[in-house]
């Protein structure tokens, strides 16, 4: 009787989650006609392109350069624009030195699906960064780590947008 009650509760929970439209993030896939994501970048060996290729592997999506693409009829092309990293002053120490920055990592890219018009997109990833003039070496390493995390977040965001744009660009049957 106890096992039956547990199964009934689990079934009810699953039924309510599916009926409300809940979907796990990242469970969308590219259309079956697309089997490769080709990447191009204006900067040779762009750090964002490397991060995007690494993240695409996590999502089990095959990726590479345009030259490695098996066919442009079955490939999505992502053209990555140069990344932008800006700092905005947030606060100062009493001495007048900068205490805190807001880091703004800007990403622009263009996605082209087979036989479709290119879709241009831009977004920003924001982080706060506290500066300490007495720990310059440690803070420079921390800045590198923060920027790397921002790149990974940007790559994940591009992939999420890619799956959304893929569903919007394919006609409903």
* 8 Å CB contact between 56 and 96: no
Structural tokens at position 20: 């409300």
Q: How far apart are CA 171 and CA 75, in angstroms?
A: 17
Of 118 and 172, more confident: 118
96 HSE (CA, 13 A, CB side): 0
Of 33-37, 45-49, 74-78, 117-121, the one with minimum mean pLDDT is 33-37
* 8 Å CB contact between 173 and 32: no
Interstrand relation of 98-112 and 75-80 (parallel, antiparallel or unpaired): antiparallel
* 8 Å CB contact between 34 and 75: yes
Q: Write the DSSP string, 9-34.
A: HHHHHHHHHHHTT---TT-----TT-
Q: How far apart are CA 99 and CA 119, in angstroms?
A: 39
Instruction: Give the domains, in start order, of the chain with CATH numbers.
Output: 29-169 (3.30.160.150)
Residue 16's pLDDT is 78
123 HSE (CA, 13 A, CB side): 15
Question: 3-class SS at 170?
Answer: coil
Q: Write the DSSP string, 115-171.
A: TS--EEEEEEEEEEEE--TT-HHHHHHHHHHHHHHHHHHHHHHHHHHHHHHHHHHSP
Mean pLDDT of 44-69: 83
pLDDT digits 0-9 by tens, 133-173: 777 777 788 889 999 999 999 999 998 888 777 766 554 43
Residue 172's pLDDT is 43
* 8 Å CB contact between 162 and 121: no
Prediction pTM value: 0.74
Structural tokens at position 129: 């960064």
Q: How far apart are CA 12 and CA 130, in angstroms?
A: 47
């Amino acid at each position: 009787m106890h096992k039956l009650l547990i199964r009934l509760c689990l079934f009810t929970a699953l039924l309510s989650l599916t009926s409300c439209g809940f979907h796990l993030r990242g469970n969308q896939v590219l259309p079956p006609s697309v089997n490769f994501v080709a990447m191009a970048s204006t900067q040779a060996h762009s750090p964002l392109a490397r991060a995007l290729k690494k993240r695409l592997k996590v999502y089990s999506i095959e990726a590479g350069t345009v030259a490695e693409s098996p066919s442009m009829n079955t490939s999505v092309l992502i053209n990555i624009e140069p990344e932008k990293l800006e700092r905005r002053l947030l606060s100062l120490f009493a001495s007048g030195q900068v205490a805190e920055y807001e880091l703004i990592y800007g990403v622009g890219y263009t996605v082209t699906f087979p036989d479709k018009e290119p879709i241009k997109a831009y977004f920003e990833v924001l982080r706060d960064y506290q500066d300490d003039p007495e720990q310059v070496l440690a803070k420079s390493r921390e800045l590198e780590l923060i920027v790397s995390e921002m790149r990974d977040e940007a790559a994940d965001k591009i992939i999420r947008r890619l799956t959304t744009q893929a569903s919007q660009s394919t006609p409903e049957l």
